Every structure is written in C-alpha cells, then in structure tokens.
Chains A and B, each alone.
Chain A
Amino acid sequence: MENRKTVRKWFWVWEFEKEEDWLNEMAMNGWVLESVGFASYHFVRCEPGEYNVRTEMHAFDESYVSFMEETGAEYIGRMMMWIYFRKKTEDGPFDLFSDIDSRISHLDKIGKVLAVIGGANLVIGFMNVFSPSRAGWINLLCATLLMYALGRIHGKKESLEKERLLHE
C-alpha cells in the first residue's frame, strides 16, 4: 500500500477555512499533511483522526514556530505567507484562535497583504496598459481578483465585528 500521496488542489485566499477543513478531513481519512507546495499538498499515512491541522497567514517568524512547538504543535511548512501546523489529537485540542479579536486581527493581516499586492498590480497595470506588450491587462486582471478577495475577507471581518458588539 502506498504511504505517500500528492494532491493538486487550489484554494482562493478567502477559502482558507475551507482549506483547513479539507486538510482535517484528509487526516480523518488517514492522510496527514507532510509538506506543502504551490497548489499541491503532500500527505503521508496516519491513523484516522490522529492529527489536527491548522493554517494561518503569518510572516516568517522563528520565535512563533518555536512557541507553537512548545505547545505541542508540529511545524509542517509554509507556502507564500501561509504557515501550516499539525498536532496529535491525543496531545489536546488544537486551534490557533480562541477569541473574536484575534480572528479579526488575522483577517486584518490578510486584508493588508491583499491591499498591498492589489494596489501594486493596479499601479503597474495602469502604467503598462498602453505599452506595446499590453502586459498591463494581466496586472489589472490580477488587481481585480485581489480586490474581490479583499471584499470577501472584509465581509468575514464585518460579521465578526457585529458579533463582537455583544460579546468577546
């Protein structure tokens, strides 16, 4: 029986929760994430439900990784600005955020990155749109997509903020 497999799969940035759910579903079915690549996930066999997997956007930070390891989590890897951890179910519950404030600041962080990359694409796009290569249209397309992503992230943030009006 094969002990490793790679799955190619694409998630949009606003689907990070869906991605995490999928990774945990895989772990439930006996495949735990071992490493990540661009739109590809490498799994290794595990006992069904042996691991919980979590992902978040976080700038590279050695001290964060060692902090997570102290709490029993295992660093899997990173792709772009997303970092992946797993923890054995027997070592206790595993999540990255336990209150609304930290969920909001995570969405804020994602929003800022999208705004910066989106803004840069917009500027480059406008500068190049009349150039002979017409490459600017690609940037403008990227900018549109990134702005759409920003809107989705903002929507998530707004619903959390509404919730926070009543409780933390």
Chain B
Amino acid sequence: MADGFALTESTYYILLSLTRPRHGYGIMQLTEELSGGRVHLAAGTLYGALNALCSKGWIIQLPAEDESRRKEYKLTEKGMQVLRGEVARLRELAANGEKVLAEE
C-alpha cells in the first residue's frame, strides 16, 4: 500500500490526524494526545513531512478560507488507502508478536 514500505511513526500520526482538516499545530497537539504524550512531532520535522506527503498526493493543502494564515491539510483518497493498509500491517505485527510471546 505505502509503496510496500512501513510508515514512520511521524507519518502514521500525521495521516491519522488528517482524517479531518487540521493545521500544523493541530496535528502536533492531536499526535501528543493520541499517543498519551509519547510521540512528539517537532515543527521542522512536521513541515518537511507535510511537504513530502503533499507531493506524494496522500494529503492536500486546503485553500485558505479567510485572511488567517493558518494552512489546513486533509487526507486524500489515496492517503486514506495508505492509512488503512498501514493499520492492517500493524495489526498483523501486533498479532504475530502476541502469538509468539504467548507460546513462551
């Protein structure tokens, strides 16, 4: 799905945050909240990742509605597919881990 590669934790949380339109700071906050404060997205990392995801066509930048300079982003259809594929992959990883460890 994701070109056959695993997503990085940052990419995963960015995509997850963008199932609804959000601006950069909103993505940072939701990621912290969802991960219970474990995953922190630094602004520079996030900016680079957003640009990369836009050029991959997994997210789009929404046209600004008013004068406010906060840019919002949202998942595309393709991005949603990648995200679903990744959740399935993670489920498989977790299931395998639990299966093997249960036999120990």
Contacts and interface: CB of A to CB of B under 8 A. Distances in A.
B45 interface: yes
Interface string B67-97: 0011100000000000000000000000000
Interface in B21-47: 23-25, 28, 40-47
B65 interface: no
Interface stretch (A27-35, A96-104, A126-134, A144-152): A96-104
A37 interface: no
Interface residues of B, number: 20
B66 interface: no
A60 to B, nearest CB: 14
Tell me what chain B mostly uses at the interface: helix, strand, loop, or mixed. helix
Contacts of B19: none
B69 A71 contact: no
Contact of A64 (B8, B23, B47): B47
Contacts of B41: 98
Nearest to A83: B44
Interface of A: 56, 58, 63-64, 66-68, 70-73, 93, 95-99, 101-102, 105-106, 168
